[in-house]
Amino acid sequence: MNIIADMYLMYKPSGKDVVNAKWIPLKKVHWFAYGLGQKINNTWEKQQNYEEHPTSVTVYKHPEWKSIKTRENDGNGEENGNE
């Protein structure tokens, strides 16, 4: 497994006095994880060389996405299953 991703914390003001509220970026978390896993008795278990490295920064610029990956689709037209 080798994953590199950015996650944004966004805020959208609400309330009776708010008109045309826009999403505002607050923080960006850049993280990567790598390692090996093994499926034992239908359950995935991480191996000893698994590592995660998240870091966060304050952001003022809105994110620009080149692709969006979801649980249902990995962005390349292939389904991600729960195997």
pLDDT, averaged per 10 consecutive residues of the chain (83 residues), comes to 83 89 90 81 79 81 77 50 38
Closest to 22 (Cα-Cα) out of 10, 36, 33: 10
The reported pLDDT for the residue numbered 46 is 78
Closest to 12 (Cα-Cα) out of 56, 54, 62, 58: 62
The reported pLDDT for the residue numbered 39 is 87
The reported pLDDT for the residue numbered 83 is 36
The reported pLDDT for the residue numbered 33 is 76
The reported pLDDT for the residue numbered 27 is 92
- Per-position b or e across 40-50, b if 16+ CB within 10 A of its CB: eeeeeeeeeee
CA distance 28 to 46: 26
The reported pLDDT for the residue numbered 53 is 73
Closest to 57 (Cα-Cα) out of 24, 19, 17, 30: 30
